[in-house]
Amino acid sequence: MYTALRLQRQLRAELDAGTVEIVVVTPDPYMTYRPFLPEAAAGSLSPRHVVVPLRRVLGRCRLLIGAVESVDHARRTALLTTLATDEEGSGPAALAYDELVLAPGSVSRTLPVPGLAEHGIGFRTVEEAIGLRNHVLEQMDIASSTRDPALRDAALTFVFVGGGYAGVEALAELEDMARYATRYHQNIRPEDLRWVLVEAAGRILPEVGDEMGRYAIRELRGRNVDVRLETRLDGCEDRIAVLSDGTRLPTRTVVWTAGVRPAPLLAATDLPLDERGRVRCTAHLTVEGTAHAWAAGDAAAVPDTTAEKPGTPCAPNAQHAVRQAKVLAENIAASLRGRPLKEYAHAYAGSVASLGLHKGVAHVYGRKIKGYPAWLMHRAYHLSRMPTANRKARVLAEWTLSGLFKREIVSLGSLEHPRAEFELAASPPPDPDPEQSS
């Protein structure tokens, strides 16, 4: 989205003259601002406000809602499936292009843990964030109405695997929300909820550095979160999470946030990939040794020209992705006009993470900040980064309203089955008693 946005500005004259066309292929007609997913899960922001409608912001681009299945760059052709090709049953459609921009991002990196594929919950999309919120509230409903103590304990045990910012922020926001929701359940006390964070390394939140990572652990443990370092999830079959330290946790909730791997599309291209499966790029954001191909974001191995060790690739995060996108767009425009290309260079500024309402941790430009100031900084930073004035205003309005009123604790899990009630109403009445009717 950021590349297309900058490109439609840079190539305004060419677009007006009809000599250039920008085509964006995307499975969803919106861009998700992922750093706000934990707040969406906690109910501080509504799902519609953490996404940006592409049709509105990319008014000069042609949007194709679908997925690229493969790219044959030697022939400058991409094969894509769209809702229309699915309906027509005609198979993937070929799209010819002159310049290729590959930015399909990443997907969850899963491991062959027994039961994970069946029971694990991801946390990368707005649907997953809202689904998890509904699920947590539903578990509290189950726990408050069951007479089976084992079922109650399992319903109130929430296991998160992976202590990066996705896992820590998601756990911290949901724990905060669920603790608040116990006020409205007469038979659930905050201490009945069991939150477990499982991390394979000896620290969490590496993005904020060791000291702030240790602070985050203390903060979470102070809230009764069971943080297990140097521990892995070995299995989650039969609704039991088995940890590498031998612990067996009956649970109905296993959230998997243990890292990312490049989008599967990359393996279906004829472009050079590094050992992790990312497209090999130059600092100009061109694909190594390939003309007319560009890449950025989580899917691209772009050399970090500011790193001490030459050849270190940029980390897969939004900070790099957004900045690379702008340079990429400017370089495409420059190359079309025969001008020299710019190198991408961005020294990592640090990171901010929310640990729930009014709590946070930050390590920015060498300064370590914790507690309320870090949380404020987290909100201010992400508000400034949220694209479009429209979305900024909506997010700000929602924060203001949630500061004035009580938290939202409603679960709308039934939204996931919108036809259920009508199906029940429309289903044939049960058979009359055969004995009476004969």
Ligand X SMILES: Cc1cc2nc3c(=O)[nH]c(=O)nc-3n(C[C@H](O)[C@H](O)[C@H](O)COP(=O)(O)OP(=O)(O)OC[C@H]3O[C@@H](n4cnc5c(N)ncnc54)[C@H](O)[C@@H]3O)c2cc1C
- Interface positions with ligand X (CB under 6 A): 25-28, 34-35, 37, 67-68, 103-106, 123-124, 165-166, 263, 265, 297-299, 316-319, 321
**Amino acid identity for residue 153 in this structure:** D
Residue closer to ligand X by CB (options 25, 142) is 25
CB of residue 94 to ligand X, shortest distance in Å = 14
> Nearer to ligand X by C-beta: 116 or 265?
265
Residue 425 to residues 172, 292, 417, 418, 428: CA-CA distances in angstroms?
40, 57, 14, 13, 8
Q: Of how many residues is the chain composed?
A: 438
Nearer to ligand X, 154 or 294 (CB): 294
Closer Cβ to ligand X, 125 or 244, answer by number: 125
How many beta carbons lie within 10 A of that of residue 219, not counting itself? 20
Q: Which CB sits closer to ligand X, 388 or 414?
A: 388
Of 157 and 354, which CB lies nearer to ligand X in the complex structure? 354
DSSP type of residue 342: P
Identify residue 385 by its one-letter amino acid code.
Answer: R
Residue 431 Cβ vs ligand X, minimum distance, rounded to whole Å: 47
Q: Which of 113, 123, 115 is nearest to 167 (CA)?
A: 123
Interhelix angle for 165-181 vs 126-145, to 10°? Answer: 40
CB-CB contact of 274 with 262 (8 Å): no
**Smallest separation (angstroms) from ligand X to the CB of 314:** 10
- To the nearest whole angstrom, how small is the minimum distance from the Cβ of residue 203 to ligand X? 18
- Shortest reach from residue 328's CB to ligand X, in Å: 11
Check if the beta carbon of residue 252 is closer than 8 Å to that of residue 194: no
Residue 31 vs 242, nearer CB to ligand X: 31
List strands edge to edge, sheet with 23-26: 23-26, 62-72, 77-82, 93-96
Taking the least distance from each CB to ligand X, the nearer of 119 and 124 is 124
Q: Cβ 426 to ligand X, closest distance in Å?
A: 35
φ/ψ bin of 60: left (φ > 0), alpha (ψ from -120 to 50), beta (otherwise): alpha
Residue 284 CA to chain centroid, in angstroms?
Answer: 27
Please state, as a whole number, how many other Cβ atoms lie within 10 Å of the Cβ of residue 402.
17
Residue 39: CB minimum distance to ligand X, A: 10
- Compute the least distance from the CB of residue 242 to ligand X, in Å: 25
Report, in Å, the least distance between residue 43 CB and ligand X.
16
Cβ neighbors of 63 (< 8 A, separation 6 or more) are: 23, 24, 26, 29, 54, 55
Q: C-beta of 132: minimal distance to ligand X in Å?
A: 11
Amino acid residing at 109:
R
Contact 110, 308 (CB under 8 A): no
Q: Where are any strands of DSSP class E within 275-330?
A: 279-280, 293-295, 300-301
Q: Which residue is nearest to ligand X (CB)?
A: 297
Please, which residue, 34 or 228, has the CB nearer to ligand X?
Answer: 34
Give the pairing type, strands 77-82 and 62-72: antiparallel
For the chain, the first-to-last Cα distance in angstroms comes to 68
Nearest CA among 238, 253, 124 for reference residue 197: 253
The nearer residue to ligand X, 188 or 375, going by C-beta atoms, is 375
418 residue type, one letter: P
Confirm if 382 and 36 have CB atoms less than 8 A apart. yes
